[in-house]
């Protein structure tokens, strides 16, 4: 079906869009020393705190091998804390610290600019259609991911 030109392959174009999104994020957020993945984890914890690492990984759509080191780096920055679970002391629950919450509030305008820059080439109507199609593509293929998103 899509033989030939690499730029006509959806997988390649999605990967390129991801590269561009990360580049714009790092440009807009360079003064905050935060990555898109770190931001995603903090944003998940803002919505629901005291999550075990496996649940946190699934809600941020990260694989289990990524979350451990990421949580460790965020804890070193003072943005999150890990505490023992109440029912199972071996379980580590992750929550946002006040410093992490303040970081999110500070970085949010830059993250908004990332989204605006990324979608800038599209009209308002095109943005709505693009986002609806992208959401459908992700939702319909979620289970094919190495790190399926779970709400």
Is residue 36 scored above 70 in pLDDT? yes
Tell me the pTM: 0.87
pLDDT for 3 equals 62
DSSP annotation of 144 reads G
When pLDDT is averaged across residues 56-84 and rounded to a whole number, the result is 93
- The C-alpha atoms of residue 19 and residue 93 are separated, in whole angstroms, by 32
Q: Which range, of 100-104, 107-111, 147-151, averages the lowest pLDDT?
A: 147-151
Percent of the chain with pLDDT over 70: 93
Exposed/middle/buried for residue 5 (C-beta within 10 Å: 0-12, 13-18, 19+): exposed
Phi, psi angles (nearest 5°) of residue 80: -135, 170
pLDDT digits (tens, 9 = 90+) for 122-138: 999 999 999 999 999 99
Say how far apart CA 112 and CA 49 lie, in whole Å. Answer: 23
**What domains does the chain contain, in order, with CATH numbers?**
6-142 (1.10.10.10)
Cβ 62 vs Cβ 150: under 8 Å: no
What average pLDDT score do residues 95-106 get? 97
């Amino acid at each position: 079906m899509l033989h030939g030109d690499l730029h006509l392959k959806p997988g390649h174009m999605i990967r390129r869009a991801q590269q561009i999104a990360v580049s714009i994020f790092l440009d807009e957020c360079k003064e905050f020393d935060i990555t898109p993945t770190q931001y995603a984890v903090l944003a998940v914890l803002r919505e629901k705190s005291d999550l075990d690492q496996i649940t946190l990984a699934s809600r941020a759509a990260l694989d289990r091998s990524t979350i451990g080191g990421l949580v460790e780096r965020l804890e070193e920055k003072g943005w999150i804390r890990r505490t023992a679970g109440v029912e199972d002391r071996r379980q580590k629950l992750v929550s946002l610290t006040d410093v992490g919450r303040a970081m999110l509030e500070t970085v949010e305008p830059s993250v908004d600019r990332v989204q605006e820059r990324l979608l800038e080439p599209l009209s308002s109507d095109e943005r709505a259609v693009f986002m609806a199609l992208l959401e459908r593509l992700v939702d319909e293929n979620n289970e094919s991911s190495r790190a399926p998103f779970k709400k």
